[in-house]
Amino acid sequence: MSKIERVEVFVASPGRTFVTLRITTSDGVTGLGDATLNGRELAVASYLRDHVAPLLIGRDPARIEDMWQYLYKGAYWRRGPVTMTAIAAVDTALWDIKGKTAGLPVYQLLGGRSRDGVLVYSHASGTDIPSLLDDVERCLELGYKAVRAQAAVPDVGGTYGVRKGKVYEPAATELPDEQPWDTEAYLGFAPTYLEAVRERFGFGFHLLHDVHHRLTPIEAARFGKSVEGCRLFWMEDPTPAENQESFRLIRRHTTTPVAVGEVMNSVWDVQHLITEQLIDYVRTTVVHAGGITHLRRIFDLAALYQVRTGSHGATDLSPVSMAAAVHVDIAVPNFGIQEYMGHPDETAEVFRTGVTFANGMLHPSDEPGLGVEYDEKAAERFPYQRRYLPVARRLDGSVHDW
């Protein structure tokens, strides 16, 4: 019987920092998992190397569910982003091995296709309304059928979500960039640029917007009401979701759909949001919510309550996670949309993935497993670089919600 023989953790920064887990069996089969936690990457790398890897040696790689329960319950300290990201890496690598052993792509092991392709949305942004409109046009010309729109608020020093180069990457500084934030200015400006997008391009594509948790529940309700004429696909993360009850107030005041969950790590974190139908889309991810095994559990719960999937897919997910996400997306019955930003050219030197983009959709590889390869030698050319996400401060200098 095949056993886990080797567990390796790689940390490299090809365009951005990724933590990659590779499990090798006694039969010589390898599986890859993503263990990247943006801004806290080394914490997960240590968790895997020092605490998890020794537990895996000699175990049966086919017992995926048992391994998940063993790592989750056996640690005593449950949940949290570091633990769940580490478990996700192991779980995803084991699914990759399972697919390679069976000679099937992972989505076939999840029940096969529920759709022909995975609808994705791209990011458009601008320093002002004209540049935003130009960027929306760029996305539409590339074939996207859904676009997220963000623009810098005038006379405010920094606005999260606005691309500063070829590829949008907010984690770009050795220490956190401290950016000013003005809620009233945002509430006055954001509806105007979303209306401008609809006025210029019409309603023939899906329009999304990310609030980045920066409003109180009543402010979020006010915003959602003000943009109802734009028919947003969703407003994302309108307020911090630790207090799930707060979304009830938003629901009372607006029909704009709500998407939440990219910083949530387990089914328990989103339980009430789903079961009380306080959200329309759950944005939990393979890498931060316990891997394919646990993400499927979240999505199955969501399906019972007509909540659809909308997984996070920013550049802080490596191509391993993106491939795993697409395999899940293509299979689940309640799929909604998948975020897709692409990666810098340097990333493609380290990761080879069979995921393809065409006609506004992603398509999984039909190779056995996830269809992703990791080039260890190429990764050595991109040593670890510490990078942090920005911190928002109100105009009075106090730290604001994300």
- Cα distance between residue 148 and residue 259, in whole Å: 13
Say whether 193 is catalytic.
no
| pLDDT recorded at residue 157 | 64
Say whether 107 is catalytic.
no
pLDDT tens digits for the chain (402 residues)?
899 999 999 999 999 999 999 999 999 999 999 999 999 999 999 999 999 999 999 999 999 999 999 999 998 889 999 999 999 999 999 999 999 999 999 999 999 999 999 999 999 999 999 999 999 999 999 999 999 999 999 988 666 777 666 566 677 677 888 888 899 999 999 999 999 999 999 999 999 999 999 999 999 999 999 999 999 999 999 999 988 999 999 999 999 999 999 999 999 999 999 999 999 999 999 999 999 999 999 999 999 999 999 999 998 899 999 999 999 999 999 999 999 998 999 999 999 999 999 999 999 999 999 999 999 999 999 999 998 888 889 888 898 876
pTM: 0.96
Dihedral, 331, 332, 335, 340 alpha carbons, nearest 10:
-50
Cβ contact 20:14 at 8 Å: no
User: Considering 160, 168, 193, 374, which one is annotated as catalytic?
Assistant: 160
Contacts of 68 (CB under 8 A, 6+ apart): 87, 90, 91, 290, 291, 293, 294
| pLDDT recorded at residue 394 | 87
User: Considering 123, 209, 212, 327, which one is annotated as catalytic?
Assistant: 212
| pLDDT recorded at residue 158 | 61
Task: Write out pLDDT tens, residues 284-328.
Answer: 999 999 999 999 999 999 999 999 999 999 988 999 999 999 999
